[in-house]
Structure 1
């Protein structure tokens, strides 16, 4: 007689653009998902999509054997799992043997330390940063740069299948997943800044921006980020899909890790300064393509105005 296995209940903390998409993709894959976010609007949106929500991450422990963290940074991971100012967190309430899938971009050293702490509490960790944006999150086609124990992968199998088109297994402990994500973020940040600078150059020379985009996307100078982000500039639509401040954070982690390794990264440093300038100018919560506004302020060209037809 074949044993019947019960699908685990999944708790997902962080119903932002990526987290909401992944949570909905899991629902469509038949998983039982409980969402949690500090935004009442995000919780209401997930409930409207057919999901359940709770008001606090602590409430997930009673039902969930797998918890997915799609939060912004290491500080939020720390707060969710271990609480703020000694209040206690989710980790101490999870049943032994439960799994935490950590999807935020964090320093590899933080991921390694987190695994040690959770293992000491008889919990598993999958170091699993994600990439692909909100659209691929919603369609369950993310790339997951992961590392962890075989036990963690077994418990994460159905969740990863629902979230991702590509799951890269990069090591048998935490750290390598976050390391590869940092390489990705290095390139992504540099490419966005370079795309903004290139568009600023073209517009400063009087080239029509739509024509320039068409030419470059069919030429050797194209990149995924150029092709994806420049349309936001052309539409004058800086609604944040990934914000400027995300790359201030991520490129700071890249730079800090470089210092730990005694590896100079002047190109990443230059991109970081441009995103920092954009944030300092008040554009931190706008789409990361708004880094071009730094060039516009220092130059003599005009940016395309927002239009209702092009706005997302």
Structure 2
């Protein structure tokens, strides 16, 4: 975990809402750093997992309001953020119950315009927002080594510092208002989605030409064509293990956000659009909840190539949301 120069304030309790692979790692990192933390998830199994590690849990976000002045949202999308903060019908959510001056650290990948509007809405309610999408995957979340792309007021950064110090190796301070952090995250997701789709296409090409996929992986990872995503995702294909760490449908969502933002800016992004179509096709084929490496199954179906068989013994990885 990264060092934090601030001393945790004894009367601050941190709430983590969303105990998937990423949120669980964050909650456990805060707990390991000695910060008072309460985990919350709709899934009983997720709460039980955090409790088994020694952490406290509550079943409802609303219950956190009475104990927490810093709440970290590690949910999937803007709709879930709204549901937690403002209720399913726009009324009666967590934001209404938090004490004035409380902080919301929002970690989901959302449209920059949404992050700006959320910051304004919370400020009207006398709450602070740190726009803080995260990157690094479940493994780095578990050891407090995430990268955080953050923007918000000085007051928000100050309140968030102990939590950020526990959960992240790199905290990028990108601006003094929400929106910038989410903008940078969209650039990251553009590249991540394109690189995964390109890795799948390249492997499909190699297999179609009759190259041994394991040997191809070994060569490419030692050559200029390598990328972090190629090196990280192709083993899922080689193992025939599509247990989701980050699912196909995550990139359908994120690349749609990229596409929509580009359209609003009148910026053509044909490479991102092509990757989006491949992920959309994979989802349409029924692979939306599989690991994002399953985008290669589009090529398998259209080109008639044989992929390594699914290995059920490998299906023990946790989901990343």
Q: TM-score, normalised by structure 2?
A: 0.94
Does residue 61 of structure 1 match 2:65? yes
User: Does structure 1 retain, via aligned residues, the 8 Å contact 2:8–2:162?
Assistant: no
The one of 102, 106, 113 equivalent to 1:98 is 102
Q: Is the Cα contact below 8 Å between 1:7 and 1:31 reproduced in 2? A: no
Secondary structure of 1:158's aligned partner: helix
Residues 258-267 or 79-88, more deviating: 79-88
Q: 1:205 to 1:88 in 2, by over 3 A?
A: same
Matches within 5 A, 1:111-130: 111-130=115-134
Aligned to 1:137: 141
Are the aligned partners of 2:40 and 2:47 in contact in 1 as well (CA < 8 Å)? yes
| 1:200 maps to 2:204 | yes
| C-alpha contact (below 8 Å) 2:31/2:37 kept by paired residues | yes
Q: Which one of 88, 92, 112 corresponds to residue 108 of structure 1?
A: 112
| Distance in 2 of aligned mates of 1:51 and 1:294 | 42
Aligned to 1:271: 275
2:246 corresponds to which of 242, 248, 272:
242
Structure 1 residues 151-200: Cα deviation after superposition (integer angstroms, max 9, x where no partner): 00010000000110000000000011000000000000000000000000
- Give secondary structure in 2 for the equivalent of 1:84: coil
Question: What is the aligned counterpart of 1:229 among 229, 233, 247?
Answer: 233
**Which of the numbers 147, 150, 154 marks the counterpart of 1:146?**
150
1:167 and 2:161 correspond: no
Deviations 1:13-71 (A, max 9, x none): 10011101111111111111111111111111111111111111000000001000000
Distance 1:217 1:25 in 2: 31
Aligned to 2:4: none
1:116-165 deviation per Cα after TM superposition (whole angstroms, max 9, x unaligned): 00000000000000000000000000000000010000100000001100
Q: Is the CA contact 1:111–1:127 (under 8 Å) kept in the aligned structure 2? A: yes
| Alignment correspondent of 1:22 | 26
Q: Are residue 285 (structure 1) and residue 289 (structure 2) matched? A: yes
Structure 1: tracts of 5 or more residues without a match: none
Deviations 1:185-232 (A, max 9, x none): 000000000000000000000000000000000000000000000000
1: CA distance between counterparts of 2:10 and 2:275?
Answer: 48
Shift of 1:5: 4.3
Instruction: Confirm or deny: 8 A CA contact 1:130 1:143 kept in the other structure.
Output: yes
What is the distance in 2 between the residues matched to 1:310 and 1:217? 22
Runs of 4+ in structure 1 off by over 6 angstroms are: none
TM superposition shift of 1:310: 5.3
Task: Report 1 or 2 for greater relative contact order, CA contacts < 8 Å, sequence distance ≥ 6.
Answer: 2
1:166–1:7 CA distance, 2 compared to 1 (3 A) = farther
Q: What is the CA RMSD across the aligned residues, in angstroms? A: 1.3
Query: How far apart, CA to CA, are the structure 2 residues paired with 1:110 and 1:262?
Result: 18
TM-score by length of 1: 0.97
Contact 2:37–2:56, Cα closer than 8 Å, also in 1: yes
Tell me how far 1:106 sits from its aligned partner: 0.3
The answer for the alignment partner of 1:81 in structure 2 is 85
| Residue equivalent to 2:3 | none
The structure-2 alpha-carbon separation of the partners of 1:113 and 1:35, relative to structure 1 and needing over 3 Å to count, comes to same
1:255·1:269 contact (CA, 8 Å) conserved in 2? yes
